[in-house]
């Protein structure tokens, strides 16, 4: 029997068989682990997809979308935002933003009570500003019907009024000082 084993290289074949069996066992364990990992990954993907599908129709998501739409501020008029009184994270208190029409500038003026009877809406005016050094034409567009006193103990009252600038100088900016002469005749 020993001689027959030597003739056919039995030991070599037995060792090769044992090594192949060991390799097969390791490969089988690796396959089982890979299949388990694949199964867990598929389960995770399915759960994520289900969560994604739910989020598309979720009441919470719709509620958040509505809240976002409520947070969008839309102006009812066109112009330039010249002041922003709101900050992120704080609730608005009063005015959120100031929008001014920079293409139709107006000058706010005060008219003494002894002159107000001589001024009427529609009268022409000449506006000058130190910043522009140009004369601009204007029209009285509003006169307040209510007087305001100038200070404590003052016996003189003034009336606020507005003059629209018809041909504004491009260098005239909102908030600049200007002098207005109303043409009476």
Dump the DSSP string for 40-101.
HHHHHHHHHHHHHHHHHH-HHHHHHHHHHHHH----SS-SEEEEE---TTS---S--EEEE-
Q: Which residue has the tokens 């009570």?
A: 113
In a domain, 144, yes or no: yes
Full-model pTM: 0.50
pLDDT (tens digit, 9 = 90+) per residue, 56-86?
666 777 788 888 887 777 777 777 787 788 7
In a domain, 27, yes or no: yes
- Residues 90 and 33 occupy one common structural domain: no
- The helix/strand/coil state of 147 is strand
All residues at 6 or more sequence positions from 86 whose CB lies less than 8 Å from its CB, including other chains:
92, 96, 97
In a domain, 88, yes or no: yes
Number of domains in the chain: 3
- Residues 52 and 89 occupy one common structural domain: no
* pLDDT attached to residue 151: 57
- Residues 177 and 116 occupy one common structural domain: yes
- The helix/strand/coil state of 95 is coil
In a domain, 67, yes or no: no
Find the CATH number of the domain harbouring 157: 2.40.30.170
In a domain, 114, yes or no: yes
In a domain, 65, yes or no: no
In a domain, 79, yes or no: yes
Host domain of residue 154:
106-182
In a domain, 51, yes or no: yes
In the chain, the largest separation of any two C-alpha atoms, in whole Å, equals 143
Distances (CA, A) of 61 to 47, 52, 58, 118: 18, 11, 5, 64
- Residues 80 and 131 occupy one common structural domain: no
* pLDDT attached to residue 67: 82
Q: Which residue ranges of the chain lie beneath pLDDT 50?
A: none
- The helix/strand/coil state of 67 is helix
CA distance 105 to 119: 20
* pLDDT attached to residue 153: 56
């Amino acid at each position: 029997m020993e001689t027959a084993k030597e003739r056919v290289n039995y030991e070599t074949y037995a060792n090769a068989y044992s090594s192949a069996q060991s390799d097969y066992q390791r490969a089988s364990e690796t396959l089982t682990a890979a299949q388990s990992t694949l199964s867990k990954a598929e389960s995770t993907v399915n759960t994520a997809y289900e969560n994604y599908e739910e989020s598309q129709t979720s009441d919470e998501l719709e509620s958040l979308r509505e809240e976002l739409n409520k947070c969008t501020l839309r102006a009812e008029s066109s112009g330039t935002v010249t002041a922003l009184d709101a900050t992120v994270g704080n609730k608005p208190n009063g005015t959120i933003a100031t929008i001014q029409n920079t293409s139709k500038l107006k000058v706010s003026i005060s008219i003494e009570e002894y002159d107000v009877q001589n001024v009427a809406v529609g009268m022409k005016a000449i506006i000058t500003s130190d910043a522009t050094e140009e004369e601009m034409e204007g029209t009285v567009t509003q006169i307040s019907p209510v007087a305001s006193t100038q200070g404590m103990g003052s016996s003189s009252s003034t009336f606020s009024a507005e003059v629209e600038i018809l041909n504004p100088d491009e260098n005239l900016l909102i908030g600049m000082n200007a002098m207005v002469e109303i043409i009476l005749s």
